Structure 1
């Protein structure tokens, strides 16, 4: 997974007055949890643009002015309700040998056969929660939707990977193609339907014992 470096300064004072002064100066108050004790620091608001305003998932290297570095992931963020400026960010410190949970974006590739025939693609999950050690976290969960026909569903069990574990129920539908009024029935589906109908006729046709009994 790609990493973003944030250069910040450790905060000695964490009161409301100092926090307000930081925000007025264009700084964002932050906290790193997960270590021996919470660590307070601040960084320019612009430093978080590539981390916050993107659909991609990233780990973070926080470099402080005292030379210390911390590997972390963003855990929570608060925005101003009117201006949408960043008010506060919580980070969680990560370690190379300790598994963490993170939401990874889903990227669809290919062109669904069902969609090309007029079906509607539904994708209830834009991100999926996975658990893994930091070095095994993927940048994205790529899904090839080319084989999906009208009525097809892709379950999360079909995306299993040795590097990470999905934290969703096994019956979770990641995406599906639903029939629409303008949908064109796939030729293979038509053939399967015809074969089924022919089989039913052969079993219960006029020449069968059941049919003869009915006629008598």
Structure 2
């Protein structure tokens, strides 16, 4: 999985007023937890652009005074009106401990149902994946080569050796339904046979 490097500085003062001052300076308050103790940090908002505002799943390497720690973004809080990043939580990674992440779905191939005029609908764009950090995929590939009109791919249809998908097995990832033009053509064909 891709790792993005960011730098942070330790925060001594924790509170509403101090967090507001940090945001005024172009930084955002952050917490790194998951180890023996949690660390309060200040991170430059511009450094988080590639981490937060992307559809991809990434690991983060946080450099605090020369000490590098691998982590994932566990939570990000935004202002309800201005959509400005207010706070971010990082979960520290350990090689022997499984984690759960939202991983994007990547559709591969060409659906015969779409070629025949069907309409493809992707219901799930991300899946919850549980794995060790070394086995975490960049994306979950779903083949649509055999997807006919009326067909669908469910979570249970995805086979993975290195990781587990924790979504409900009955959840639909992608389906191909009849388009309006295809329905009209079938209706007209049925009327023509009468």
Counterpart in the other structure of 1:172: 171
Give how far 1:89 is off. Answer: 0.3
Q: Quick one: distance in 2 between partners of 1:183 and 1:148?
A: 16
- How do residues 8-47 of structure 1 correspond to structure 2 at under 5 angstroms? 8-47=8-47
- How do residues 72-87 of structure 1 correspond to structure 2 at under 5 angstroms? 72-87=71-86
Counterpart in the other structure of 2:148: 149
Counterpart in the other structure of 1:106: 105
> Which structure features the higher share of strand residues?
2
Q: Quick one: distance in 1 between partners of 2:139 and 2:154?
A: 17
Q: Quick one: distance in 1 between partners of 2:46 and 2:71?
A: 18
Secondary structure in structure 2 of the residue aligned to 1:183: helix
Q: Quick one: distance in 2 between partners of 1:2 and 1:22?
A: 28
Q: Quick one: distance in 2 between partners of 1:43 and 1:105?
A: 26
Q: Quick one: distance in 2 between partners of 1:110 and 1:183?
A: 22
- TM normalised by structure 2 equals 0.90
Counterpart in the other structure of 2:131: 132
Computed over aligned residues only, the root mean square deviation of the Cα atoms, in angstroms, reads 1.3
Secondary structure in structure 1 of the residue aligned to 2:137: coil
The alignment status of 1:162 with 2:142, answered yes or no, reads no
Q: Quick one: distance in 2 between partners of 1:85 and 1:156?
A: 34
Greater Rg by CA: 1
Secondary structure in structure 2 of the residue aligned to 1:20: helix
Q: Quick one: distance in 2 between partners of 1:38 and 1:85?
A: 24
Secondary structure in structure 2 of the residue aligned to 1:160: coil
1:160 and 1:166 in contact (8 A); partners too? no
Specify every segment of 5 or more residues in structure 2 that has no aligned partner in the other structure, as ranges: 184-194
Specify every segment of 5 or more residues in structure 1 that has no aligned partner in the other structure, as ranges: 185-216
Query: Please, which moves more after superposition, 39-48 or 76-85?
Result: 76-85
Deviations 1:71-92 (A, max 9, x none): 1110111112232221110111
Q: Quick one: distance in 1 between partners of 2:134 and 2:85?
A: 29
Q: How many residues are paired up?
A: 183
Give how far 1:183 is off. Answer: 2.2
Give how far 1:158 is off. Answer: 2.1
The alignment status of 1:69 with 2:51, answered yes or no, reads no
Secondary structure in structure 1 of the residue aligned to 2:94: coil
